[in-house]
Amino acid sequence: MNPSHHRLATDSLMALAGLALLALPTPSSAAPNHPDPRQSLGFTPEEQAIFLGDMRHMLGSVQQILRGIADDDREMIIAAAQRSGNRMARNTPESIRAKTPPEFRAIGGPMHLAFEEIAVRAEVDPLEDITAMTAEAMNQCMACHAQFRVD
């Protein structure tokens, strides 16, 4: 494994861990007199299960992209990115799609397109560029989690 790829992947994983901690509610925001200000998407319990499964799926894609970068495995990167690209978006149930506001779609659509671009560019672009693209895509994740909640 190329030491610079290992360092980039390690740095990326550390940054993701830090971002995940930022997304956790603080004790003051979890208190009853400090309601969660994020917009509820208003899903049924069944829709919540599907939606949250999709979010875990996308997180798994990010993990596999980073693993592929660390291992210099472009096929792993491509396959992982494709799993969360436009095909995933097209498979969203209509009941969920109908409940997502335009502000959500303005974040989600570009996120799926970012996965598609990562898949294409992973064929030949420097892995450092793929790492940067993945970090940029994670900004979409953070924006969505900061604005919306599933409950």
Q: Does residue 135 fall inside a structural domain?
A: yes
Is residue 60 a part of any domain in this protein?
Answer: yes
pLDDT at position 17: 46
Distance, in Å, from the CA atom of 15 to the CA atom of 60, rounded to the nearest integer, reads 16
Which pLDDT belongs to residue 45? 96
pLDDT tens over the chain, length 151 residues = 566 555 555 555 544 544 444 444 444 445 567 789 999 999 999 999 999 999 999 999 999 999 999 999 999 999 999 999 999 999 999 999 999 999 999 999 999 999 999 999 999 999 999 999 999 999 999 999 999 999 8
Domain of 135?
Answer: 43-149
* CA distances to 1, 92, 112, 123, 136 from 4, in Å: 9, 37, 28, 19, 19
HSE-CB of 100 using CA atoms within 13 angstroms: 20
For residue 49, the domain's CATH number is: 1.20.120
23 in a structural domain: no
Residue 54 located in a structural domain: yes
Q: What is the pLDDT of residue 80?
A: 97
